[in-house]
Structure 1
Amino acid sequence: MSVKANGVMAPGQALPSEGGLNVVRHAFVVARRNLKKIPGDPSLLLDATVMPMIFALMFIYVFGGAIAGTQADYRQFVMPGIMAITITIVARTTGIALAVDFSKGVVDRFRTLPIARSAVLSGQVIADVMRMILGQLVILAFALIIGFRVHTNMVSVLGAVALLTAFGVALSWISAFIGLTMRSVQSVETVTTLVMTPLQFGTSVFVMPGTMPGWLQVVVEWNPTTLVVDACRGMLLGGEVAEPTVKAMAWIAVLLAVFVPLSVRAYSRRRN
């Protein structure tokens, strides 16, 4: 691949020496750039922290008694699901951030730099995954403060966080694909909301599937969010872990296998 006389790459070209280590290093450089926005705009953390807290308080103290009989019982049931809700909220912003960068010409500037083409996408996903992990830790601490209790051990807690993070990576690539295929920020916001809403509410996050109509139970039980939440409940509270975890990991693998290549292709083809 040729380099321009002024020393920068032609837009869309990869580094001549683009290898695995370079790709990883460039991705973390872009991720660092994205994370540096947070001190100047703390609202970027609100979706990963405050919003899930509001969900938790609203469902536990407004609906908890009606759903589970007591707020205490419902708190134990719903908090692993709230951790998953945190993941879906943050994942939605991956596509929105990419759309904003395209609209402001930031991506065009990245393309003139000698960095791996995939670094822009991977860097955004890495930055959002960092926010997901922080959000999970904050929500778990919040859950303990309001009375949630873990009935297993630290290894299981870390396993739940790891599974939720892996699911978040997959959802971020779905969001990235949407952000790269829609032409306006408003369209990206609308479509990502439409995609994430069934993954938030058409699940076992807030109620047991057994209370739903038969046809909906089938959909809910195979919803990847349900499988992730059920596995996390087992890891945090005790109960079945192996089967929902295996099914959840299968979903994650399929989503990554589909949407990572699609996102990379969409990024390569998009020019503005």
Structure 2
Amino acid sequence: MTAATAELPDLTLDRVLSPRPSPGDAVRQTLAFAWRALLKMRRNPEQFMDVTLQPLLFTAMFTYIFGGAISGSVSDYMPTIIPGILAQTAITTCMATGTQLREDMDKGVFDRFKSLPIARIAPLAGPAIADILRYVIAATLTILVGIAMGYRPGGGVGGTIAGWALTIIAAWSLAWIFTWLGTVMRTAQAVQGTAMLIMFPLSFMSNAFVDPDTMPGWLQGFVKVNPLSHVVTAVRDLINNGSFTGEVGWALLGCAIVVAIFLPLSVRSYSRKM
């Protein structure tokens, strides 16, 4: 028996008998996985294509196509559409979280973590923290494109920053839905397809693009309970008026509820696969 082989039982015993990671250990491990995800993004710059090209295309396309028909002019439509595009950007950019997670799991990357005495939340929370960079880029570009097209936020710098921050919070919260899908679906294609089925109703059956009063009564009922509608209204209140209205509180509460439900579900389903 070699010296290396003789050490294996001790290493295995240490792993089995090692205590559960402390909260401090869990934080450090989560940050380590966040750094790993950032390095992966740097080596795969195509991961930023959706958060760089999409805000440019969607903001210009929706504004110039629908501006005259809905509000009479592009300039009058901008206070409505720019916050709407911000909210839509939040949900479309966070969809990639679940797809990339499922791809890593399919490649066996997470199998390497089975033998490590790490907190079960770390491999999930780390990439979620790293993805904040993607949400920051998408939200910032959307606002800058709107300003370049002539949009002038009535809420000033403070209201614009607050609306920008709320968009990022909403994206990070909604990403836990897609993270959970990534842990329960069998393929990355299935995650992407299901995410699209979620994204389209939430985006287009909301108040992001048009006034809900023009919709049928049954559809107006869905728009009122659609969590994305509360985010859109809150962002409009902040960016256009600089007002911290009740909608801001409802939006933050909705984000907290989503995290409270889907973060534990994600960790539970991921732990079962480990």
Unpaired stretches in structure 1, ≥5 consecutive residues: none
Give the one of 168, 175, 178 matched to 1:175. Answer: 178
Judged with a 3 Å threshold, the aligned counterparts in structure 2 of structure 1 residues 185 and 8 are, in CA distance, closer, same or farther, namely: farther
Matched, 1:78 2:51: no
Distance in 2 (CA, whole Å) between partners of 1:149 and 1:120 is 41
Following TM superposition, by how much is the alpha carbon of 1:97 offset from its aligned partner in structure 2, in angstroms?
1.1
Following TM superposition, by how much is the alpha carbon of 1:22 offset from its aligned partner in structure 2, in angstroms?
1.6
Give the corresponding residue for 1:226: 229
Q: Partner amino acid for 1:33?
A: R
Distance in 1 (CA, whole Å) between partners of 2:10 and 2:85 is 53
User: Cα deviation per residue 1:126-156 (whole Å; 9 max; x = unaligned)?
Assistant: 1112211222112212221111111123222
The equivalences for 1:128-143 within 5 A come to 128-143=131-146
User: Cα deviation per residue 1:147-191 (whole Å; 9 max; x = unaligned)?
Assistant: 111112322222212222221122111001101000111111111
Following TM superposition, by how much is the alpha carbon of 1:119 offset from its aligned partner in structure 2, in angstroms?
0.5
Which entry has the higher C-alpha Rg, 1 or 2? 2
Give the corresponding residue for 1:112: 115
Give the one of 248, 258, 261 matched to 2:264. Answer: 261
Give the corresponding residue for 1:162: 165
The equivalences for 1:90-105 within 5 A come to 90-105=93-108
Unpaired stretches in structure 2, ≥5 consecutive residues: 1-7
Q: Partner amino acid for 2:63?
A: I
Distance in 1 (CA, whole Å) between partners of 2:14 and 2:195 is 33
Alpha carbons 2:207, 2:223 under 8 Å: kept: yes
The equivalences for 1:1-272 within 5 A come to 5-6=10-11, 16=19, 18-238=21-241, 241-271=244-274
Distance in 2 (CA, whole Å) between partners of 1:94 and 1:169 is 10
Q: Name whichever structure is richer in helix by fraction.
A: 2
Distance in 2 (CA, whole Å) between partners of 1:142 and 1:199 is 23
Alpha carbons 1:125, 1:169 under 8 Å: kept: yes
Alpha carbons 1:177, 1:259 under 8 Å: kept: yes
Alpha carbons 1:8, 1:114 under 8 Å: kept: no
Following TM superposition, by how much is the alpha carbon of 1:269 offset from its aligned partner in structure 2, in angstroms?
0.5
Distance in 2 (CA, whole Å) between partners of 1:173 and 1:40 is 24
Alpha carbons 2:21, 2:117 under 8 Å: kept: no
Distance in 2 (CA, whole Å) between partners of 1:15 and 1:76 is 56
Secondary structure of 1:48 counterpart: helix
CA RMSD of aligned residues (A): 2.1
Following TM superposition, by how much is the alpha carbon of 1:14 offset from its aligned partner in structure 2, in angstroms?
10
Secondary structure of 2:154 counterpart: coil
